[in-house]
């Protein structure tokens, strides 16, 4: 728990740090978000909705406007039904390719898509059941999309993200904020 709080504090400080030339498009675009998560595959049986939090950075790729290469770290908690407080916790790290559709347009509303690969670890927390803690993990994929709203040099976004390894994972419906800076003139 202390590591999670420390990580969240580091992300908040990095995001709040003022940048030089804020009127120009950033070379590194930090983002952070939270949302509602529900299990998929084997993790959908006997579970309730939980939560997911994520943070990351995107680096614009000069090939085409709106194309980014990014790194996303997330932590998700999917609780089981019942009064035993058992849950599956899923830390994950992904390299992702993203694309903002119509990035050069003057519209403040722009759809986006992203997909990637990485690793996830599913950690079973038995709560008060008396069972042993278990964990397994390995390679996983992520795919998602949504809509972002550019407000000055900040972008608010809403969307959905599917993370899994073929056997189990989660779908998260989220909202968040990114800091792309203003488009270059």
CATH of the domain at 123: 2.40.160.20
The residue range of the domain holding 87 is: 28-178
Domain count of the fold of the chain: 1
Give the CA angle between residues 65, 71, 76 to the nearest 5°.
125
Give the CA angle between residues 86, 87, 92 to the nearest 5°.
155
pLDDT (tens digit, 9 = 90+) per residue, 134-145? 888 899 999 999
Q: Is residue 183 part of a domain?
A: no
CA distance 177 to 80: 29
Instruction: Provide the mean pLDDT of the chain.
Output: 85
Q: Which residues pair with 100 in a beta bridge?
A: 112
What pLDDT band is residue 56 in, cutting at 50, 70 and 90? very high
Q: Is residue 48 part of a domain?
A: yes
Contact 147, 120 (CB under 8 A): no
Greatest mean pLDDT among 24-28, 60-64, 70-74, 179-183: 70-74
Res 15 pLDDT > 70 = no
pTM: 0.80
Q: Is residue 11 part of a domain?
A: no
CA-nearest of 48, 67, 47, 51 to 59 is 67
What pLDDT band is residue 17 in, cutting at 50, 70 and 90? very low
């Amino acid at each position: 728990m202390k590591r999670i709080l420390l990580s969240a504090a580091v992300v908040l400080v990095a995001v709040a740090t003022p940048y030089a030339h804020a009127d120009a498009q950033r070379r590194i675009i930090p983002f952070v978000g939270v949302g509602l998560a529900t299990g998929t595959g084997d993790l959908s049986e006997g579970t309730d909705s939980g939560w997911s939090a994520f943070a990351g950075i995107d680096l614009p790729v000069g090939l085409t406007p709106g194309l980014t290469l990014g790194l996303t770290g997330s932590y998700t908690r999917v609780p089981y039904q019942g009064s035993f407080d058992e849950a599956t916790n899923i830390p994950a790290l992904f390299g992702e390719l993203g694309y903002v559709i119509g990035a050069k347009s003057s519209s403040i509303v722009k759809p986006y898509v992203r997909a990637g690969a990485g690793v996830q670890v599913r950690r079973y927390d038995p709560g008060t059941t008396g069972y042993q803690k278990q964990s397994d993990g390995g390679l996983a994929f992520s795919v998602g999309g949504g809509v972002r709203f550019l407000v000055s040099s900040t972008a608010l976004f809403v969307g959905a993200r599917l993370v899994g390894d073929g056997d189990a994972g989660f779908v998260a419906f989220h909202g968040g904020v990114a800091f792309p800076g203003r488009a270059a003139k």
